[in-house]
């Protein structure tokens, strides 16, 4: 066709003048298919020759307007560009030579022709490949024959549709397990229901037509369905969403007829009765074995549809008597109900419970340097409350030997050490059973233990193999008594603990252990490694001014400072911790503490805090938690 010829010529011309310009490959298909405005132009395009002069002119435009004119001519030429709506070409690089585009188009066309040939029954038996024209001609014939079979031209309102309605319905039912139902709006009478209802609800359609829909809807959903069917009287207000704010707007709108107008959409789901009549049941019934079960089975049906009104005259024998209200209009809901496909895959009743865990980190001597947020829900303490305190203060007495042993072990080995179940004291005095996994993290450069990471799992319902079973509600008093009793036990394990006034310094345990390890390490390794580094890790600088006063207090003095009246072992432990801090600072300190003499001995903030706290408690007789707001903790 001449049109094509010149279009191709124009295209070539384009490449000649502007190499790599493949603009004509891109937009035309889109504009062709999208705009219906092209009709007159394309119709004439089909005709011969008329386009010729125009196209020629187009191809002779100067390069600057080339793209525009090409666009134009291509829009009119729908035949030449058979790659039309080939999306791939639009996406590809613009710089591709025109010949490549053409080749691709030809290939695609050839593929399509081949596929078409395969679909046509008359083409198939042919052994040799048929040429394009013949294939197309046979396709035309085939389509004509199909058309004749499915519908007749004689129909008054012949509406060509890719898929006639009955087949469409068939496909819809293939896609979803559903049925069409039409219910009158006033009484909910089922006017029509499709045959497929027997597959979904197991009722035959004759059972349902003429019945009230509400008989088949779950009693609790009747209100909802009524709402959907009804006019505005049952709807006290329109619930609209304001597009800007996304909030609901209560509006008293004069709704009335508007909501019931044809086409108004409805979408809801409800439970519908499911007729469970199986052979087995019949047998049971006959045998009279089981009592008749009144409980109905329901299935969730997702209904989507629209409202439709008719003048009642058209309904003929099905004339509704309720015309008085609607004044000769019968409105109903036409909806497709689909058995809800989105049913949950039910778990087998096993709830996968993730064990309650939290992570803590200890310094070498067992002081908390990091506490996971999750610990608060389990232990009751805020992380700040634990930091700087020794873990031994919270371990149940019975578990102390075991845990001390583990502590030693983890400091010595590079593996993960598991503890047995042990009891950890919560804020409120009770104990929670934990089981932990410890391992020491060694700084790869300094080869020192930076901290011990502890993953603690809450164990419920297990008896503690290592410790005592009783949960003390008043820890201080009972512990005191236990302390006295078990003091002797402690001594052989933890040597060197001063036990003035019969109190135990739980915190000392940790520090002693750490000391041991460090001594051991110092003996084995070079002294330059700065063995005291475990403390310099995580914490920021806290106000240390207060600490300086007590920095050099030796062991003995600490115990004097403690108020004898205090029975809480925590405070003593803190005192102990303080001592520990001091004793550990024999090595070099990495903390720069300017102008704080003596505090050089305390390189850890935790130790400093411990000191501060003990002082505060001492001075102000405070046993309560200190206000940490001024302390700048980095958590």
Partner 1 sequence: MDSVAPGKKRVSSERRKEKSRDAARCRRGKESEVFYELARELPLPHSVTSNLDKASVIRLALSYLRLRTLLKTDVLDVESELDSQWNSSYLKALDGFLMVLSGDGDIVYLSESVSKCLGLPQVDYTGHSVFEFTHPCDHEELREMLAQRTGLSKKTKEQHTNRGFLLRMKCTLTSRGRTVNVKSASWKVLRCSGHIHTTDGIKKVVVEENNMSSSYLVLICESIPHPMNIEAPLDSRTFLSRHTLDMRFTYCDERITELLGFAPVELLQHSVYEYYHALDSDHMTKAHHYLFVKGQVCTGQYRLLAKAGGFAWAETQATVNL
Structural Rg of the chain based on CA atoms: 44
Residue 84 lies near partner 1 (rule: CB under 8 A): yes
Among 497, 559, 507, 510, smallest CA distance to 393 is for 507
- Among the residue ranges 34-42, 54-62, 429-437, 516-524, the one whose residues contact partner 1 (CB under 8 A): 34-42
Q: What 3-state class would DSSP assign to 357?
A: strand
Note whether 267 binds partner 1 by CB under 8 A. yes
What is the DSSP-derived secondary structure letter of residue 314? G
Q: Report if residue 32 touches partner 1, rule: CB under 8 A.
A: yes
* Residue ranges with strand state E in 159-296: 178-184, 190-193, 238-241, 248-251, 265-274
By CB under 8 A, the count of residues binding partner 1 is: 108
**Of the two residues 110 and 621, which places its CB atom closer to partner 1 in the complex?**
110
Residues between 347 and 366 with contacts to partner 1, criterion CB under 8 A = 347, 349, 351-352
Please report which helix (H) or strand (E) contains residue 140, including its range: helix 132-150
Point out which span in 28-36, 319-327, 370-378, 523-531 binds partner 1 (CB under 8 A).
Answer: 28-36
Contact residue for partner 1 among 153, 156, 157, 246 (CB under 8 A): 246
In this complex, which beta carbon is closest to partner 1, that of residue 153 or of residue 445?
A: 153
The structure tokens 């062709």 sit at 32
> Is residue 81 involved in binding partner 1 (CB under 8 A)?
yes
Site residues for partner 1, window 108-127 (CB under 8 A)? 108-109, 112-113, 115-116, 118-120, 124
Q: State how far Cα 381 lies from the chain centre.
A: 30
Site string for partner 1, 303-332 (x = CB under 8 A): -xxx--------------------------
Tell me if 258 contacts partner 1 by CB under 8 A. Answer: no
Closer residue to partner 1 (CB): 136 or 596: 136
21, 24, 61, 86: residue in contact with partner 1 (rule CB under 8 A): 86
Residue from 54, 104, 187, 259 touching partner 1 (CB under 8 A): that is 259
Footprint on residues 184-203 left by partner 1 (CB under 8 A): 192, 194-195
Count the neighbouring beta carbons within 10 Å of the beta carbon of residue 112: 12
Beta-carbon contacts of residue 318 (< 8 Å; ≥ 6 apart): 191
In the complex with partner 1, the residue whose CB is nearer, 229 or 503, is 229
Judged by CB under 8 A, the residue of 11, 25, 29, 581 near partner 1 is: 29
Distance between CA atoms of residues 591 and 604, nearest Å? 8
> Which residue in the set 280, 344, 445, 554 belongs to the binding site for partner 1 (CB under 8 A)?
344
Applying CB under 8 A, the span of 62-70, 342-350, 359-367, 450-458 interacting with partner 1 comes to 342-350
Q: Are 497 and 400 in contact (CB under 8 A)?
A: no
Q: How far apart are CA 524 and CA 522, in angstroms?
A: 5
- Please list every residue from 135 through 194 that binds partner 1, using CB under 8 A: 136-137, 139-140, 142-144, 146-147, 159-163, 165-176, 180, 182, 192, 194
Binds partner 1 by CB under 8 A, chosen from 18, 30, 459, 497: 30
CB of 36 to partner 1, least distance (A): 6
Please give the order of strands across the beta sheet that includes 431-442: 368-371, 357-362, 449-458, 431-442, 417-425
Closest CA to 2 of 72, 79, 104: 79
**Tokens for 570?**
């925590």
Question: Given the complex with partner 1, which of 64 and 131 has the nearer CB atom?
Answer: 131
CB 455 within 8 A of CB 437: yes
Looking at residue 49, the DSSP 8-state letter turns out to be S
Task: Determine the interface stretch with partner 1 among 94-102, 237-245, 600-608, 611-619 (rule: CB under 8 A).
Answer: 237-245
Instruction: Give CA–CA dist 333/261, Å, rounded.
Output: 11
The residue within the footprint of partner 1, chosen from 51, 76, 78, 450 (CB under 8 A), is 78
The residue range among 11-19, 346-354, 449-457, 593-601 that interacts with partner 1, by the rule CB under 8 A, is: 346-354
Q: What is the dihedral of CA 119, 125, 126, 129, to 10 degrees?
A: 40
Give the residue from 577, 450, 583, 579 showing the smallest Cα distance to 516. 583
SS3 content of the chain, % helix, strand, coil (to 5): 45, 15, 40
Which of 65, 99, 204, 248 forms a contact with partner 1 (CB under 8 A)?
A: 248
Kindly tell me which residue out of 67, 269, 497, 587 binds partner 1, with binding defined by CB under 8 A.
Answer: 269
Q: Of 264, 239, 250, which is closest to residue 333 (Cα–Cα)?
A: 264
Residues 408/419, Cβ–Cβ less than 8 Å = no
Nearer Cβ to partner 1 (343/528): 343
């Amino acid at each position: 066709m001449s049109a094509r010829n010149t279009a191709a010529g124009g295209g070539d011309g384009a490449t000649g003048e502007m190499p790599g310009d493949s603009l004509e490959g891109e937009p035309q298909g889109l504009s062709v298919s999208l705009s219906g405005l092209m009709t007159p132009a394309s119709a004439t395009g089909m005709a011969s020759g008329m386009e010729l002069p125009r196209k020629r002119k187009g191809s002779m435009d100067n390069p600057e307007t080339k793209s525009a004119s090409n666009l134009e001519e291509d829009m009119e030429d729908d035949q030449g560009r058979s790659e039309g709506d080939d999306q791939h070409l639009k996406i590809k690089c613009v710089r591709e030579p025109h010949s490549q585009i053409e080749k691709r188009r030809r290939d695609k066309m050839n593929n399509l022709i081949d596929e078409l040939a395969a679909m046509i029954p008359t083409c198939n038996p042919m052994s040799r490949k048929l040429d394009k024209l013949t294939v197309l001609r046979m396709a035309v014939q085939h389509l004509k024959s199909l058309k004749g079979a499915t519908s007749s031209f004689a129909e008054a309102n012949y509406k060509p549709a890719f898929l006639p309605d009955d087949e469409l319905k068939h496909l819809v039912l293939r896609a979803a397990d559903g049925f069409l139902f039409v219910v009158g709006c006033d009484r909910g009478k089922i006017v029509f229901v499709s045959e497929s209802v027997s597959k979904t609800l197991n009722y035959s359609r004759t059972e349902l037509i003429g019945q009230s829909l509400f008989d088949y809807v779950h009693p609790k959903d009747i209100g909802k369905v009524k709402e959907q069917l009804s006019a505005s009287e049952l709807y006290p207000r329109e619930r609209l969403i304001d597009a800007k704010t996304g909030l609901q707007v209560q509006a008293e709108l004069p709704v009335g007829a508007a909501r019931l107008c044809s086409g108004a959409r409805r979408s809801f789901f409800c439970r519908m009765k499911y007729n469970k009549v199986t052979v087995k049941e019949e047998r049971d019934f006959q045998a009279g074995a089981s009592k008749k079960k009144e409980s109905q089975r329901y299935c969730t049906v997702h209904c989507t549809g629209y409202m439709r009104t008719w003048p009642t005259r058209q309904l003929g024998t099905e004339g509704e008597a309720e015309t008085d209200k609607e004044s000769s209009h019968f409105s109903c809901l036409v909806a497709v109900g689909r058995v809800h496909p989105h049913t949950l895959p039910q778990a087998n009743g096993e709830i996968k419970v993730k064990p309650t865990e939290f992570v803590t980190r200890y310094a070498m001597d067992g002081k908390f340097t990091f506490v996971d947020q999750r610990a608060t829900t389990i232990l009751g303490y805020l992380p700040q409350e634990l930091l700087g305190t020794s873990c031994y203060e919270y371990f149940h007495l019975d578990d102390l030997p075991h845990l001390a042993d583990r502590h030693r072990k983890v400091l010595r080995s590079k593996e993960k050490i598991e503890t047995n179940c042990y009891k950890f004291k919560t804020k409120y005095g009770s104990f929670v059973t934990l089981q932990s996994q410890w391992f020491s993290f060694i700084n790869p450069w300094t080869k020192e233990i930076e901290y011990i990471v502890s993953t603690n799992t809450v164990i419920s319902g297990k008896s503690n193999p290592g410790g005592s079973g009783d949960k003390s509600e008043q820890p201080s008093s009972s512990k005191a008594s236990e302390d006295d009793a078990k003091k002797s036990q402690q001594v052989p394990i933890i040597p060197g603990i001063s036990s003035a006034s019969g109190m135990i310094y739980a915190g000392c345990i940790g520090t002693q252990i750490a000391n041991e390890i460090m001594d051991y390490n110092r003996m084995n390794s070079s002294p330059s490694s700065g063995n005291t580094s475990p403390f310099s890790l995580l914490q920021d600088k806290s106000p240390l001014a207060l600490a300086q006063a007590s920095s050099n207090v030796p062991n003995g003095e600490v115990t004097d400072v403690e108020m004898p009246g205090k029975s809480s072992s925590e405070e003593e432990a803190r005192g102990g911790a303080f001592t520990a801090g001091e004793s550990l600072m024999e090595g070099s300190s990495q903390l720069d503490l300017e102008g704080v003499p003596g505090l050089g001995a305390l390189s850890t903030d935790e130790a400093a805090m411990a000191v501060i706290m003990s002082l505060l408690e001492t001075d102000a007789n405070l046993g309560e938690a200190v206000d940490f707001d001024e302390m700048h903790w980095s958590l």
